[in-house]
Structure 1
């Protein structure tokens, strides 16, 4: 969705309390240090998913109606190593999200609604993740999706890594709902998604941890971590989301130790934030204050709802203006 929001540099990041930094450890997954997307065709990267079949590769796509294309990005170099053209899906309308299920399939969410929740249905596409990374055409299955309580605008879609169930987070002005799909998607019938929880964020993407125990949801200026709790999400705290020109995507690295945050724009940066405490406990679970660098419910930098995001944007604009006033003119 082309609602561009500008960042104002280091001063704004410090003011808003965000914190990001590369996760440096030899044992971490490829891509844990972040990368820059090099492909000039990718100008509106709106979703991000770590490959299951090809370690170190991350899948992305452009926003809106760019076409039925998926791009495999090398997490070491940021270069595109394969372009997938989907067939069997008609004309994509507003592609916003991508996720990989435990069945080895890639799920693509054509779930955006720039008309503000006017379309009576949206689509999810499913295709097998290619065994070989090369430019190719892959036939996908298209699923019709509706919401039990009427049309919604959404940009976040996640497939649970253990159950394979698909979830969508509404992009609501004052937060939105978490919608659960049927246990199995049906290509010959309408798939009804039902609201099961509230998400206190103007959400642009979400991701499950590899073990399925955590859910991270991001917006433009912050994020919220949830304990999955068997499908009854329990809010844990706020995520330390890096300030980006238009923060649209998030995914876990395969080892679950880093959250990668992506943005739209040509040559966009995918920035890492270490999941503090990941893997420290014997059962692989994290405490609320450990998830994604969260600071608990009482602190952090998440701006919940559309009003919060707009307010943060105003702060950035003011800071940018102050910076211009304080900047000394160069001698000619």
Structure 2
């Protein structure tokens, strides 16, 4: 993807020096222990999962989160038990082409899994991207599942995106594009066509360089995350209204977010081998479940500061180091794909 001058400069100036600091900083944000309650956070133990780019809580299998690598892995989805961090099933998708850049996953009505092959690190040069839909298996074992593939275009031209959302009540599919100065929420047709092209249209501005987003289980809220922060929006029938800032944990390369199945937690994931999923309290009223008294920190209900800023509890120096960390790892990722 296109990198701003500041990001490129930061990466070039601090690469070797701060690589070790990034590792230390990422480790310091991980939970020190992983209890049986996966909503307190967990570590992904599967060595095959090195670039976890999407995260979605299963409603059919309590405590299970679906994830995937973002590229160069094949048509695979992984079901991870949050109590242990271990993979309990790997799905192999059939009925689709060769994935290019899978960036997001979401659970829709009827326990259907939706996968967004929507990344475009070339700065928006692909004329179309793909979405896959498949039934979530009732039994979690390694298996092959037939998926439906949808061709997607944007009404205003190609773009990079990493956020795919399916509304839990209506089943409508949405995408948020990834732009440094803020992007847009794109709405798909009411019914997607597997035989034609599905045109997504912008319906609202999103004030963040979005790396992922998720609906609350009741569909009333939208959480959007970036590398350093996030924003909570009231869904408001699709006319989203900004509610406040989310305290997103500092991570090596923060790529994913999901509400827990009961809506009481926001689960934040990151790329890398043995990556941690960090739990934070979701905004009040985000789900139908009962909030646990213990676990992650609180998400801000106020609208202070820029939604792309880091948590208020993070010192400026740590934020600066984190910014360079993201630049370093982003540059490595870009070079790897080149």
When normalised by structure 2's length, the TM-score is 0.80
Equivalences for 1:49-128 in 2 at 5 Å?
Answer: 49-128=56-135
CA–CA distance in 2 between the matches of 1:170 and 1:292?
27
Equivalences for 1:156-175 in 2 at 5 Å?
Answer: 156-175=163-182
Equivalences for 1:117-156 in 2 at 5 Å?
Answer: 117-156=124-163
**What secondary structure sits across from 2:40 in the alignment?**
coil
CA–CA distance in 2 between the matches of 1:220 and 1:120?
27
Question: Deviations for 1:258-315, whole angstroms, at most 9, x for unmatched residues?
Answer: 00000000000000001253479x999xxxxxx97124222376249xxxxxx99981
User: By how many angstroms is 1:173 displaced?
Assistant: 2.2
2:331 is aligned to none
- RMSD over equivalenced CA pairs, Å: 3.5
Question: Deviations for 1:58-88, whole angstroms, at most 9, x for unmatched residues?
Answer: 0000012321000000010000000000011
1:246 is aligned to 253
Q: Work out whether residues 259 and 282 of structure 2, in 8 Å CA contact, stay in contact via their aligned partners in 1.
A: no
When normalised by structure 1's length, the TM-score is 0.81
**What secondary structure sits across from 2:320 in the alignment?**
helix
Q: Which runs of 5+ in 2 are unaligned?
A: 4-10, 291-296, 311-315, 326-338
Task: Flag the 1:218–1:314 CA change in 2: closer, same or farther, 3 A.
Answer: closer
Is 2:303 the partner of 1:272? no
Q: Work out whether residues 221 and 312 of structure 1, in 8 Å CA contact, stay in contact via their aligned partners in 2.
A: no
Q: Work out whether residues 112 and 135 of structure 2, in 8 Å CA contact, stay in contact via their aligned partners in 1.
A: yes
- Which stretch has the larger CA shift, 74-83 or 48-57? 48-57
Of residues 192, 197, 200, the one that matches 1:190 is 197
Of residues 314, 320, 330, the one that matches 1:315 is 320
Q: Work out whether residues 7 and 243 of structure 1, in 8 Å CA contact, stay in contact via their aligned partners in 2.
A: no
Question: Deviations for 1:224-264, whole angstroms, at most 9, x for unmatched residues?
Answer: 11000000000111100000000000000011000000000
Of residues 209, 212, 225, the one that matches 1:202 is 209
CA–CA distance in 1 between the matches of 2:2 and 2:179?
16
Is 2:49 the partner of 1:42? yes
Q: Work out whether residues 20 and 241 of structure 1, in 8 Å CA contact, stay in contact via their aligned partners in 2.
A: no
Q: Work out whether residues 31 and 253 of structure 1, in 8 Å CA contact, stay in contact via their aligned partners in 2.
A: no
Of residues 211, 227, 233, the one that matches 1:226 is 233
- Which stretch has the larger CA shift, 101-110 or 2-11? 2-11
Task: Flag the 1:105–1:2 CA change in 2: closer, same or farther, 3 A.
Answer: farther
Paired positions, count: 300
Of residues 284, 293, 302, the one that matches 1:296 is 302
**What secondary structure sits across from 1:103 in the alignment?**
helix
Q: Which runs of 5+ in 1 are unaligned?
A: 14-18, 285-290, 305-310, 321-332
Task: Flag the 1:279–1:263 CA change in 2: closer, same or farther, 3 A.
Answer: closer
Q: Work out whether residues 22 and 322 of structure 2, in 8 Å CA contact, stay in contact via their aligned partners in 1.
A: no
Task: Flag the 1:194–1:204 CA change in 2: closer, same or farther, 3 A.
Answer: same
CA–CA distance in 2 between the matches of 1:109 and 1:50?
16
1:179 is aligned to 186
CA–CA distance in 2 between the matches of 1:93 and 1:319?
27
CA–CA distance in 2 between the matches of 1:41 and 1:165?
32
**What secondary structure sits across from 1:211 in the alignment?**
coil
Structure in which a larger fraction of residues adopt helix? 2
Q: Work out whether residues 31 and 42 of structure 2, in 8 Å CA contact, stay in contact via their aligned partners in 1.
A: no
